[in-house]
Amino acid sequence: MISSIKQSTNSFTHYSRPLPRNHSRLNPQIQSLPTISNPKQTLTHKIFTQKPLIVSSIEGFGPKLRTQNRNPSIECNAYGAADRSQPIDIALTEKSEAAKRAKIGVYFAIWWSLNVVFNIYNKKVLNAFPYPWLTSTLSLAVGSLIMLVSWGARIAEAPKTDLEFWKRLFPVAVAHTIGHVAATVSMSKVAVSFTHIIKSGEPAFSVLVSRFLLGESFPASVYLSLLPIIGGCALSAVTELNFNMIGFMGAMISNLAFVFRNIFSKRGMKGMAVSGMNYYACLSMLSLLILTPFAIAVEGPQMWAAGWQTALAQIGPNFVWWVVAQSVFYHLYNQVSYMSLDQISPLTFSIGNTMKRISVIVSSIIIFHTPVQPINALGAAIAILGTFLYSQAKQ
């Protein structure tokens, strides 16, 4: 036993001998170890002068380290912070929703106001200058010019289009052109209020075309909502004091054309990354190219020149302002309506369109002193109510 202890002591002494002086030359990577004169004193100095070491636990070290929680208190504090942040998130969400509703309200107010102003100036122009084909052409031309200037001055970003885009847009532009000219022809022959009462029957055309030409089916509530629309429009037409067949047919053709415009737009423009503002700008430009030769063929420059001189003699320089105003406001109200489609649902848009017609009908009756019989007003109210019920049933 004693011999084994001595052997172990000798072994320790052997391994604890100091290295030779030339050890660094033999192996440059090995550095000299510091000589400790008094280990106890140095250790005591280290303990009281150095900052304490914090040794983390090695429990769970290895592949399970990622899934285990090494400090549960941190997790609890994190969840506590998340709970405290929920009222802040709810408040931010409520603010964003309120801002969105306010934005939609602004869109609607601008849309209705611009539409009312357009209809007023458009009717004034048509009363003094009864050439709806040229009036329609000027509306599209001014709108196209506004957008070209905006793109050129980089006020608005120009759309990135290709030949396929214009091919798909062409049938939409044809339907838009027919609807625009037909509505203008209608307003040149009858009161603005009567035109919009008939145009409130557009949902009936939409359902009938979709049912018999496209084979789509609708719930019974949708078909029932068409009864007050058709009945109200018929009652207003029968009791209209200034009824004109051309004006009535123009409004009806406009309804049908705009239904096809919506169908072509829905089918052909899927996947096209074009904003609502630029989409309508391209639609106006293509419609202008389609409409111009027909306007020249139907009316012609000679009739326009004679009518222009007559209007200037009767109205004066204000007539030029009327023409410019009706063209600018036509483009602006359509542009805002297409921009609003990016922000609201189709149901909200339908309701807004219904309310727009009410504002146009009421304002035109007040401004132009249009005589309205009680039975005629009742028919208009029934038709508009049916349009509202249709927008509810369609969803």
Q: According to the model, what pLDDT value does residue 101 have?
A: 72
Average pLDDT over residues 120-137: 96
Q: Domain ranges for the chain, please list them.
A: 103-394
- pLDDT for 73: 45
- Greater confidence (211 vs 339) lies with 211
Eight-state DSSP code of residue 69: -
pLDDT at 373: 87
Most confident option among 94-103, 291-300, 354-363? 291-300
> What is the average per-residue pLDDT within 122-138?
96
pLDDT of residue 261: 87
Q: CA dist 372 to 42, 196, 259, 317, Å?
A: 110, 14, 29, 32
171 touches 292 (CB < 8 A): no
**pLDDT tier at 395 (50, 70, 90 boundaries)?**
low
Report the alpha-carbon distance of residue 101 to residue 65 in Å, rounded.
49
| Residue 186 pLDDT greater than 70, yes or no | yes
Select the more confidently predicted residue: 57 or 230: 230
Residue 273 C-alpha from the chain's centroid: 12
What's at 349, amino acid-wise?
F
Q: What is the per-residue burial (b if ≥16 Cβ within 10 Å, else e) of 369-395?
A: ebebeeebbebbbbbbbbbbbbbebbe
pLDDT tens track for 329-361: 999 998 888 777 666 665 566 667 777 888 899
The answer to whether 228 and 385 have CB atoms below 8 angstroms apart is yes
Q: What is the pLDDT of residues 38-83, one digit of tens each?
A: 544 444 444 444 444 444 433 343 444 444 444 444 444 444 444 5
Could you tell me the two tokens for 217?
């089916």
Q: Half-sphere exposure of 276 toward its Cβ, with a 13 Å CA cutoff?
A: 14
